[in-house]
């Protein structure tokens, strides 16, 4: 089956009251891990690539790996999503390549570091929506600014520096027509999110609920939502790593978000931790090994376990056969008729 639009997956998730994990990739093993987890749990899948990932893997390598995934796992509704597009041009390049969903992160200026104005965000996002919807491609926007930095993208601020204003979120959706909206409620990119376990107040879950009440038909997105499990940190440190103590986003808070309109949940750091821990373990226990397969196989398996667990926790497990996959051309016709 061809790659499908993210809008379809999120619409179905809204009907079923569950969330869909969106997992970042840079290479073949990560894509394989996600697809094996999706098959094991019978889950739809969102694979996403940042600008940094596109540069690292090169666009054509990445896209053809995704085509192979769609061919080898035809039963899985599969989305290729651009994470944190920094400009209209970046989003266009992804759409032209074959991405079926793009994020226009107009919360920051094109430098990917400086918080932008509301007016700039609306203008840039609306341009991407017009361009994407003409081809049946989904658009995610962002209002408010996430904390931290990921792949060089981010203002590096605290997650509470630019929390999303509910009234502004409502206006933004009305002016742009985005399919999904990433909101800032205290989460941050990267592993070092919180010095202690965050509470619902730390994460401003009340703000999320208010936004959902204002925008009941808009799919909300939680970025920076890795849980940074202690056991994955321990494995890395046991085998020579030096991670500082840190806390991520508790799964129960994500599940609260899912009950209140969150349909897409971004996870990256947890998978990086799992991969790194598995590789360190091989190097530590069998220093004579030098075949990349000796450490990439356990790394792939470790990531698969994390992804499968998140798919189950987010509620998407078991929903792979609920609906027929809609081609992008048909999605384009639906957008034009709306």
Residues 6+ apart with CB under 8 A from 71: none
- Is 105 tagged catalytic? no
**What is the C-alpha to C-alpha distance for residues 208 and 196, in angstroms, rounded to an integer?**
21
**What is the C-alpha to C-alpha distance for residues 84 and 38, in angstroms, rounded to an integer?**
24
Say which residue the tokens 């994470």 belong to.
83
**What is the C-alpha to C-alpha distance for residues 162 and 92, in angstroms, rounded to an integer?**
27
Best CA proximity match to 20, nearest among 311, 324, 256, 319: 311
Q: Are 4 and 78 in contact (CB under 8 A)?
A: yes
Joined together, the tokens standing for residue 25 give 């990739």
Q: Are 110 and 124 in contact (CB under 8 A)?
A: no
Best CA proximity match to 17, nearest among 320, 316, 321, 322: 316
Catalytic residue among 83, 165, 179, 270: 83
Q: Are 4 and 328 in contact (CB under 8 A)?
A: yes
Active-site amino acid positions: 83
């Amino acid at each position: 089956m061809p790659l499908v639009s993210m809008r379809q997956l999120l619409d179905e998730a809204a009907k079923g009251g569950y969330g869909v994990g969106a997992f970042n990739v840079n290479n073949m093993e990560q894509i394989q891990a996600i697809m094996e987890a999706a098959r094991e749990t019978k889950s739809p899948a969102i694979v996403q690539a940042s600008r940094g990932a596109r540069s690292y893997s090169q666009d054509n390598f990445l896209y053809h790996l995704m085509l192979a995934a769609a061919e080898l796992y035809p039963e899985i509704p599969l989305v290729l999503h651009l994470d944190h597009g920094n400009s209209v041009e970046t989003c266009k390049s992804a759409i032209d390549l074959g991405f079926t969903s793009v994020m226009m992160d107009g919360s920051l200026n094109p430098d990917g570091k400086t918080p932008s104005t509301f007016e700039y965000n609306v203008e840039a996002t609306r341009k991407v929506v017009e361009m994407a919807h003409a081809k049946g491609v989904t658009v995610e926007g962002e209002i408010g600014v996430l904390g931290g930095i990921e792949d060089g993208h981010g203002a590096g601020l605290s997650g509470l520096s630019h929390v999303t204003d509910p009234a502004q979120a409502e206006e933004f959706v009305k002016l742009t027509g985005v399919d999904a909206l990433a909101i800032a409620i205290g989460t941050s990119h990267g592993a070092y999110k919180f010095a202690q376990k965050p509470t619902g107040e730390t994460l401003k879950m009340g703000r999320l609920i208010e936004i959902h009440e204002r925008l009941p038909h808009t799919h909300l997105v939680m970025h920076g939502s890795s849980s940074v499990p202690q056991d994955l940190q321990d494995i890395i440190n046991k085998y020579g790593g030096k991670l500082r103590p840190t806390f991520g986003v508790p799964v129960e808070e994500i599940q609260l978000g899912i009950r209140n309109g969150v349909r897409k949940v971004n996870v990256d750091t947890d998978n990086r931790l799992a991969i790194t821990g598995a590789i360190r373990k091989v190097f530590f226990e069998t220093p004579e090994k030098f075949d990349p397969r000796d450490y990439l196989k356990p790394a792939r398996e470790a990531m698969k376990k994390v992804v499968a667990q998140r798919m189950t926790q987010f509620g998407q497990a078991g929903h792979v056969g609920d609906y027929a996959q809609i081609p992008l051309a048909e999605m384009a016709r639906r957008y034009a008729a709306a």
